[in-house]
Chain A
Amino acid sequence: MIGPSVTHSTFVIERNYPATPQRVFGAFSDPIKKRRWFAEGEGLAIKEFEMDFRVGGLERSSFRLENGMICTNNTIYQDILPDRRIVFAYTMSINGNRISSSQATTEFLPATNGTNLIFTEQAAFFEGADGPQIRKEGWRQILNQLEKEIVRQVENANA
């Protein structure tokens, strides 16, 4: 397939948590807490999770996906302002092929009802690095999702 080898994308997620910025920040800086929300709970086997939370420090996590492929995140912390901001850059790889490289900024803003968390990821997705197997897997997922969506629409139409 001939096409651009990189797709750029930025997305923003905003959340409010009824907890102080110190506490929300603590869930990012404490490896035991971070592992719980970041790595556990996806139902995937965690192969490794280690982090060194300081500017220039590295974090590495890898998971075995349902299809047997290994997904690895390699992170470097770029900027840390305690209780206020964490900036990190990370690559995601599948079976050793990098599929994306991102910069992610997490801001912790004090609010009357706790903390507003603003997560901004600026990502470069490498289309050319996916390999036919991963592309096929991606398509299988798209088609499965479409199938579900179609079934849902048909059910709604018949309801």
Chain B
Amino acid sequence: MLSQSAEIDRVFHALGDPTRRAIMEKLSEGPISVSRLAKPLSITLAAVVQHLQVLEKSGLVHTEKAGRVRTCRMEPKGLSVAEQWIGDRRSLWERRFDRLGDLLAEPDEN
């Protein structure tokens, strides 16, 4: 098992590339075959496969072959939207409590 910081480095490396980010954005809509993924990205199938290998090694994507079709999907373990929401919810309340502090710093009218 990779150490945690090596894992993070891999994720950052994997997502540091705009094509791979475009792949992740496409995969967020749902699983898709590799050939259908290649089409809108206007890059070769071989290039897509290489990018997918990087994403798969970093744990962000899972691919599997059924017959002649290789399908890829996001690996929910990597980064989950729910985790993002939890972070967003917390920071929403943090900002609210900042504003509460501003309001309480005003002179009390009572």
Contact = CB atoms under 8 A, between A and B. Distances in A.
Interface of A: 1, 3, 7, 9, 11, 13, 15, 17-19, 23-24, 26-27, 33, 36-38, 40-42, 92, 99-100, 117, 119, 121, 123, 125, 127, 130, 132, 135-136, 138-143, 146-147, 149-150, 153
A125 B86 CA distance: 8
Interface residues of B, number: 39
B28 A139 contact: yes
Interface string B73-110: 11010011111111011101111110111111100101
B40 interface: no
B95 A143 contact: no
Given A125-B85, A127-B81, A142-B84, A38 B24 contact: no
A1 B82 CA distance: 13
Nearest to A141: B84
B29 interface: yes
Contacts of A3: 76
Given A3-B76, A130-B81, A37 B103 contact: yes
Contact of B104 (A1, A9, A17, A142): A17
A45 B17 CA distance: 35
A142 B103 contact: no
Given A11-B90, A36-B103, A100-B85, 6 more contacts: A1-B73, A7-B86, A19-B108, A117-B97, A125-B85, A141-B88
